[in-house]
Amino acid sequence: MKKGFTVIELIVSFSLVLVIVMFLFQIVIHLKNLYTISNLKTELLNKQSIISNQINKKFSNKTIVSLSKCGSYCVDFLYEDGSNSTLTIDYDNNTIEFENYKTNLPDGSYIKNAKVSIVKAAIFKDNNNNSLLIIEIPIYNDKIKNQDYIIKTIYQFNDKIYNLSAVSFTA
């Protein structure tokens, strides 16, 4: 009696090992993609949070008296104390800048249809802050389908005292 494996047994065992290795390889690729996407989401959320905090911090400590365009993708905010801040959106380089803070978006991310609008809120009394200045900067990335990371800032003001008007970005 000979001891050892037949050719059929070897082919079957190699086939089973190959199937298991392919399955494990697919799991590793899937986990790598999940890791990459979660890193991208985290980076976008961090950038969204930092720029929103920069704008909100300034707006909560100052009173905006006017805003004006300072270029195709630029808005200048003038405050009651005479100081000003500039918000610049660079669509070509995917950067957002507010005052001295500038952030570059991750690779594959882009800004689309940023806007600064004014909404008169009818629910407030006339002698209170009755209008809203809304800044919206939507950020997209093709690797993250059906999700946008919008930078949205809302500033409340009294339009009887400060007559602010909407500004459109030319994209």
Check if the beta carbon of residue 83 is closer than 8 Å to that of residue 136.
no
Q: What is the CA radius of gyration of the chain?
A: 27
Tens digits of per-residue pLDDT, 58-97?
999 999 998 888 888 999 999 999 999 999 999 989 999 9
Global pTM value: 0.78
CB atoms within 10 A of CB 93: 9
Check if the beta carbon of residue 54 is closer than 8 Å to that of residue 99.
yes
Region of 121 on the Ramachandran plot (φ > 0 left; ψ -120 to 50 alpha; else beta): beta
Mean pLDDT of 86-112: 92
Q: How many angstroms separate the CA atoms of 83 and 34, rounded?
A: 45
Tens digits of per-residue pLDDT, 129-167?
788 899 999 999 988 877 778 899 999 888 878 878 888
**Percentage of residues of the chain with pLDDT beyond 90:** 54
Q: How many angstroms separate the CA atoms of 15 and 25, rounded?
A: 15
Region of 9 on the Ramachandran plot (φ > 0 left; ψ -120 to 50 alpha; else beta): alpha
